[in-house]
């Protein structure tokens, strides 16, 4: 798994360049948000089950056809699988938040996910909605905990939704 520092240094090393002002500004931004990243990751770790449960409730409120007969989360098994997947996304987004890099999401979550979901008939649209709900919840909680700038929370969640949204739904 890569992080902001190793990714940046690797990119500059591969092109044989010294770190320039842009690179140093990027590193400074990463380090400035370091404690906030750890604060959010700690909160996620301590509250993952309730975050997923609440996000799932909001998702099913927004897209109720998922839990109606014939919906993709209709049976207990499918409902549990939906929440399991949301937990999986949340966990890997927490890794990406701390790393400041989305490589872990691409390597561990996205590679093969689209094909799997398409083959199982899992609707991508509601998955994207659920990920966005979790992001919004985390941003609100971070603000409530005194994190002044929450934009860094967008990165992993937006990466997932952007990559998943490229699939025809």
Q: How many residues does the chain have?
A: 169
Query: What pLDDT is recorded for position 25?
Result: 95
Rg (the chain; Cα; Å): 18
Task: Provide the percentage of residues in the chain whose pLDDT is more than 90.
Answer: 87
* Contact of 29 with 96, CB cutoff 8 Å: no
Question: Under 8 Å CB-to-CB from 129, ≥6 apart: which residues?
Answer: 59, 62, 63
112 pLDDT above the threshold of 90: no
Residue 78: CB atoms within 10 Å: 15
**pLDDT at residue number 165:** 86
Task: Assess whether pLDDT exceeds 90 at residue 90.
Answer: yes
- Residue 68 is classified by DSSP as S
Which alpha helices (DSSP H) does the chain contain, by range? 4-14, 21-32, 34-62, 76-99, 103-105, 113-120, 124-144, 154-165
Cα gap 91→41, rounded to integer Å: 9
Q: In the 3-class helix/strand/coil scheme, how is 16-62 assigned residue by residue?
A: CCCCCHHHHHHHHHHHHCHHHHHHHHHHHHHHHHHHHHHHHHHHHHH
Assess whether pLDDT exceeds 80 at residue 166: no
| Backbone phi and psi for residue 27, each to the nearest 5 degrees, phi listed first | -65, -40
pLDDT by residue (tens digit) across 7-65?
999 999 999 999 999 999 999 999 999 999 999 999 999 999 999 999 999 999 999 99
- Rounded to an integer, the average pLDDT of 150-161 is 96
Domains within the chain, CATH numbers bracketed? 1-32 (no CATH), 34-165 (1.10.490.20)
Please give the average per-residue pLDDT across 76-85, as a whole number: 95
**pLDDT, position 115:** 82
- In angstroms, the CA 94 to CA 116 distance is 23
pLDDT of residue 119: 86
Cβ atoms 109, 160 nearer than 8 A: yes
């Amino acid at each position: 798994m890569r992080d902001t520092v190793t990714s940046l240094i690797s990119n500059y090393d591969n092109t044989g360049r010294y770190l320039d002002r842009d690179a140093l500004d990027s590193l400074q931004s990463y380090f400035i948000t370091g404690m906030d990243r750890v604060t959010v990751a700690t909160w996620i770790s301590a509250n993952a089950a309730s975050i997923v449960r609440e996000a799932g409730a909001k998702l099913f409120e927004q897209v109720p056809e998922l839990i109606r007969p014939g919906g993709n989360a209709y049976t207990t098994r499918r409902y549990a699988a939906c929440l399991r997947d949301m937990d999986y996304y949340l966990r890997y987004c927490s890794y990406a938040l701390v790393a400041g890099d989305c490589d872990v999401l691409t390597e561990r979550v996205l590679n093969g996910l689209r094909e799997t979901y398409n083959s199982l008939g899992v609707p991508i649209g509601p998955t994207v909605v659920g990920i966005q709900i979790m992001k919004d919840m985390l941003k609100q909680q971070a603000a409530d905990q005194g994190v002044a700038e929450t934009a860094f929370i967008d990165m992993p969640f937006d990466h997932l939704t952007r990559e998943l949204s490229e699939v025809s739904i």
